[in-house]
Amino acid sequence: MRTLAQSARDLATGTSSRSLVEDCLARILDMAGEGRRAFLKVHVDQARAAADYIDTLRRHGAAPSRFAGIPISVKDLFDIAGDVTTAGSVALRDAPAATRDATAVARIRAAGLIPIGRTNMTEFAFSGVGLNPHYDTPRNPYDRATGRMSGGSSSGAAVSVTDGMAVGALGTDTGGSCRIPAAVCGIVGFKPTAKRIPTDGVLPLSFTLDSVGPLAPTVACCAALDAIMAGEEPNDLTPWRLDGLRLAAPQTMVLDDMDSTVAGVYAGALSRLSQAGVKIVDMPLIELDDIAALNRHGGFAAAEAYAWHHNLIETKGALYDPRVLVRIMRGKNQDATQYIELIRGRADLIRRVAATSIQFDAMIMPTVPIVAPSLASLEAEEKFRTVNLLTLRNTTIVNVLDRCAISIPCHRHGDAPVGLMLVGEHGSDCQLFSIGAAVEQIVSPEPGKT
């Protein structure tokens, strides 16, 4: 995989943006169907024209940023002017085209990055598995012969980066949708504090939990894309000092039902970090057990998704993926009392966890407790539900607590991908990137390689 930094250096030393775009387009077209599964629309002509324009600007010393001319994929949840935002659904195929870019997309464009296409996803972003019966399901680049899940909901985003179809990707994260695909595909995925990046122009799943985040080969790549989308100047990332870094390792719930591969890789990562001087403290954090009770009526996602979808369901509900529809319909039965209790219960949980975690620099845990299962095994409804809940379990914690988190590959090159998740305090996004960059050097000895 090519990183943003490598691409920026190549552009600065004479490589053309057009050649980067053509390389990505060739990969999309030459992947024996994977490009079709990963992308719902490819902006061939627009990307080439934008690359030629950036090349002209660079020749005159007028490129808008050092990343100008780098191709980026965009999840099919973002508005792009002139495109219909279908959110991985056939129910919105006849919707009007967007008249303006989502703010995150507009900021990416302003920095000169080039949206190369719209990536496939779980319909309406409502699953951590990544299946899409309407447009086919992107296959995990690891063990493609078996055909494994690529995670959701930003499935096509992760595959586009891992397969070199784009240098980075714009995704969303409501319960893990950036971090889960990144973890099971072997790249980095970041979920910011929710208010950090505007969500206007992004089709909502949950107004309360939605966030916009990047998927990319390295922590530094994600930091640069995050800064751009947050309206900040991307700066060189300085890794945190490992000697003295204090990480809390929660024991409640997050280690349950780990498969042997994840358990072994996670233990090895903790050992390497300890040897490098990191202080890792096991922490019970029994408060996490309260999350299940908070969400017993469907949580924010079901209630707020139903509020957005109910009119569309009345006319086009038969077009929905049944696995998505049943989750949305849980919100129909939530009443105002339950919703208000959910709001108050979440605020109380946030306060109680913060009082315990504030003494540490970050928390650490497995991103996903299992390696990617085969798609064939998910055809049974019961198996799908079990895997979906297990896949989302650890990542959802961060959205409920309104924090930032990053998933970093910690497996050996060539093995089944495993993600290590670092969780920062609310608003500590920049600090978490520095911590992530330091941890990446220890647990991912070859960043950018799967």
Residue of 177, 211, 357, 434 with catalytic role? 177
Q: Is 75 a catalytic residue?
A: yes
Q: Which residues contact 409 (CB under 8 A, 6 or more apart)?
A: 183, 186, 187, 188, 417, 418, 419, 420, 443, 444, 447, 450
Q: Are 328 and 124 in contact (CB under 8 A)?
A: yes
The reply to whether the predicted model has a pTM over 0.75 is yes
- C-alpha 413/C-alpha 65 separation (Å) is 32
Q: Is 153 a catalytic residue?
A: yes
What is the DSSP secondary structure assignment for residue 374, as one 8-state letter?
A: B
Q: What is the CA radius of gyration of the chain?
A: 20
307's tokens: 């509020």
Each residue's pLDDT expressed in tens, for the chain with a length of 450 residues: 999 999 999 999 999 999 999 999 999 988 767 899 999 999 999 999 999 999 999 999 999 999 999 999 999 999 999 999 999 999 999 999 999 999 999 999 999 999 999 999 999 999 999 999 999 999 999 999 999 999 999 999 999 999 999 999 999 999 999 999 999 999 999 999 999 999 999 999 999 999 999 999 999 999 999 999 999 999 999 999 999 999 999 999 999 999 999 999 999 999 999 999 999 999 999 999 999 999 999 999 999 999 999 999 999 999 999 999 999 999 999 999 999 999 999 999 999 999 999 999 999 999 999 999 999 999 999 999 999 999 999 999 999 999 999 999 999 999 999 999 999 999 999 999 999 999 999 999 676 666
pLDDT at res. 162: 97
Residue of 7, 73, 75, 89 with catalytic role? 75
Give the chain's domains with CATH numbers: 1-286+345-450 (3.90.1300.10)
Q: Is 155 a catalytic residue?
A: no
Residue of 127, 150, 153, 434 with catalytic role? 153
